Amino acid sequence: MNYEELKTLTSQFLPLSDSQIEAFKKYAVLLREWNAKFNLTAITEESEVVEKHFYDCLLPFKSIKFENINAIDLGSGAGFPGLVFAIAMPTWNITLVDSTNKKCTFLKEAAKELGLTNVTVINARAEELGMRGQFDLVSARAVAPLYLLLELAMPLLKVNGTFLSMKGSKAEEEIKEAKDAFRKLDCKVVSMNTESLPNDVGTRSNIVIKKIKETNKKYPRTWGEMQKHHL
Ligand code: SAH
């Protein structure tokens, strides 16, 4: 996929300006430069970056429409979807969290180079963040199974806040597997949008989940507890 195609394919649900397209081009260059040193992502070929990172991370805008919110992206890695959201949505304040220091170094540098003033980067484990009830939106792509992500995400959200879980082809199974977690963490699925990426590169499901009430203070537990005793 090239940038013209990116612009055309997203125009129906998230029109991108020329300066936003320029920002994506610059982001791809930074990714390639830093990847040579730090091995940040397996995908570096530009047409693949455009499709599997940028386009993929813009697809959620088919399901969510928010302005002026506080958002947080857990396990942001090289900035997916968090940094893409920061470029796409200038009215959002977005916090990017990753437990790996070198990824955070890249994220800070990339935000600076791209002139993004709506980004804060925190090098921490999501379950040790604190920051309860502060966010309107939590996002995560490719970080952990859904039942575990729910335990990381719910405490961070305001009541009625949204958790966007970006999943591949196993989304339905993950929702079933998380049945008890949904109940214990007082949240529910509001919608799920599934589509194939162009060029046969796979299926994506964006699951929109809503926090119904205040999360029990015993969550999140430690990472070890979460692994040992699945909700
Ligand atoms: N979201 C990115 C990266 C996925 S890889 C993408 O889709 O491309 C998973 C990332 O989550 C890694 O960068 C890893 O360091 C981070 N991570 C894993 N567990 C975490 C936790 N508990 N808290 C914060 N970051 C975590």
How does pLDDT run across 130-140, given as a tens digit for each residue? 999 999 999 99
Q: Establish whether residue 204 lines the binding site of ligand 1, counting it when its CB lies within 6 angstroms of any ligand atom.
A: no
What residue's CA is closest to ligand 1, atom 9?
143
Q: Establish whether residue 39 lines the binding site of ligand 1, counting it when its CB lies within 6 angstroms of any ligand atom.
A: no
- Ligand 1 site-directed mutation target among 98, 151, 197, most atoms within 8 Å of CB: 98
Please report the pLDDT score of residue 37 as a whole number: 85
Tokens of 164: 């966007």
Please report the pLDDT score of residue 224 as a whole number: 94
- What are the two backbone dihedrals, phi and then psi, of residue 119, each rounded to the nearest 5 degrees? -120, 135
For the chain, residues with pLDDT lower than 50 are none
Supply angle C-alpha 142, 145, 151, rounded to 5: 110
Question: How far away, in angstroms, is 99 Cα from ligand 1 center?
Answer: 7
Q: Please name the helix (run of DSSP H) or strand (run of DSSP E) that holds residue 55, with its range, or none.
A: none
Strand partners, 211: 187
- HSE-up of residue 5 (Cα within 13 Å, Cβ side): 12
Strand partners, 207: 165, 192
Q: Where are the alpha helices (DSSP H) in the chain?
A: 3-10, 18-38, 46-48, 56-58, 82-88, 101-113, 146-153, 171-177, 179-184, 223-228
Please report the pLDDT score of residue 36 as a whole number: 86
Question: How far away, in angstroms, is 22 Cα from ligand 1 center?
Answer: 26
Please report the pLDDT score of residue 21 as a whole number: 98
Q: Establish whether residue 141 lines the binding site of ligand 1, counting it when its CB lies within 6 angstroms of any ligand atom.
A: yes
Question: How far away, in angstroms, is 184 Cα from ligand 1 center?
Answer: 24
Under 8 Å between Cβ of 139 and 58: no
3-class DSSP state of 139: strand
- Ligand 1 site-directed mutation target among 85, 141, 143, 204, most atoms within 8 Å of CB: 143
